[in-house]
């Protein structure tokens, strides 16, 4: 592990049912900015994030936060060490208001409401609205805001732009860009335009293993490699 790693996983193995989903995943996430975790559908990106947090069992391997081994800690203890998680399904409480969703996410003494409302002014206006009546994009904003409320060292963000309109994709990307100035972000993202805009480093998974690790700009400039690793053209379109 390099000294500047915010997060480091080594030889992570996870079985889900009979499936050996993670088969020795190892990579470092540099401190600051965005590292993108990429790969075709079903290669284990979400499972990697969940394994880091102890949400799925790891049969082998280690997870370290800024050099501290957290492998044996319970999920809540890892979260308390400063790891925020924005899951793929925008887990907002549909029956609660936007305000209530945010209040429930508060962890420390000084929740960062000013930052959150500065990034997402709409959430202040919609404080009394039930989260279940928000659009998908607005729900995503709530999900990201919940993680940003706390002063996390690392944010794990799973496909935040999935299914959003181009305008909302751009808004979510802007919010993550700002968030990444404050904290280290590990981002699972299929939209290569967003990866290009945000990520400095990329890690590519295939078959439950890391098959590429490097500078985002270099990978994205190599369209043949992108197509080989991700099955899409460099512009983010599916390969024919």
Ligand X SMILES: Nc1ncnc2c1ncn2[C@@H]1O[C@H](COP(=O)(O)OP(=O)(O)OP(=O)(O)O)[C@@H](O)[C@H]1O
Write out the residues near ligand X by the rule CB under 6 A: 16-17, 19, 21, 39, 41-47
Could you tell me the smallest distance in angstroms from the CB atom of residue 188 to ligand X? 6
Q: Which is nearer to ligand X, 122 or 206 (CB)?
A: 206
Residue whose CB is less far from ligand X, 111 or 207: 207
Which of residues 20 and 130 has its CB atom nearest to ligand X in the complex? Answer: 20
Q: Minimum distance from CB of 40 to ligand X (Å)?
A: 7
Q: Give me the least distance between CB of 111 and ligand X, in Å please.
A: 30
Minimum separation from the CB atom of position 113 to ligand X (A)? 31
Least Å distance between CB 25 and ligand X?
Answer: 11
> Token match 């975790």: residue?
37
**SS3 string of the chain?**
CCCCEEEEEEEEEEEECCEEEEEEEEEEEECCCEEEEECCCCCCHHHHHHHHCCCCCCCEEEEEECCEECCCCCHHHHHHCCEEEECCCCCCCCCCEHHHHHHHHCCCCCCCHHHHHHHCHHHHHCCCCEHHHCCHHHHHHHHHHHHHCCCCCEEEEECCCCCCCHHHHHHHHHHHHHHHHHCEEEEECCCHHHHHHHEEEEEEEECCEEEEEEEHHHHHHCHHHHHHHHCECCCCCECC
């Amino acid at each position: 592990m390099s000294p500047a790693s915010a997060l480091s996983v080594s030889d992570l193995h996870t079985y889900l049912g009979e499936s050996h989903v993670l088969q020795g995943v190892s990579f470092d996430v540099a401190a600051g900015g965005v590292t993108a975790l990429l790969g075709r559908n079903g290669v284990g990106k979400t499972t990697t994030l969940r394994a880091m947090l102890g949400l799925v069992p790891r049969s082998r391997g280690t997870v370290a936060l800024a050099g501290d081994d957290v492998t044996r800690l319970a999920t809540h203890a890892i979260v308390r060490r400063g790891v925020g998680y924005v899951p793929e399904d925008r887990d907002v409480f549909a029956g609660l208001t936007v305000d209530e969703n945010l209040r429930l996410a508060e962890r420390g003494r000084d929740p960062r409401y000013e930052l959150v409302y500065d990034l997402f002014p709409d959430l202040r206006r919609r404080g009394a609205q039930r989260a279940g009546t928000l659009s998908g994009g607005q729900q995503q904003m709530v999900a990201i805001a919940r993680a940003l409320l706390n002063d996390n060292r690392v944010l794990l963000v799973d496909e935040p732009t999935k299914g959003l309109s181009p305008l909302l994709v751009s808004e979510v990307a802007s919010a993550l860009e700002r968030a990444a100035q404050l904290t280290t972000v590990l981002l699972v993202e299929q939209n290569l335009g967003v990866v290009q805009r945000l990520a400095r480093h990329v890690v590519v998974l295939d078959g439950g293993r890391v098959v590429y690790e490097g500078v985002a700009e270099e990978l994205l400039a190599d369209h043949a490699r992108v197509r080989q690793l991700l099955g899409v053209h460099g512009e983010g379109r599916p390969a024919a």
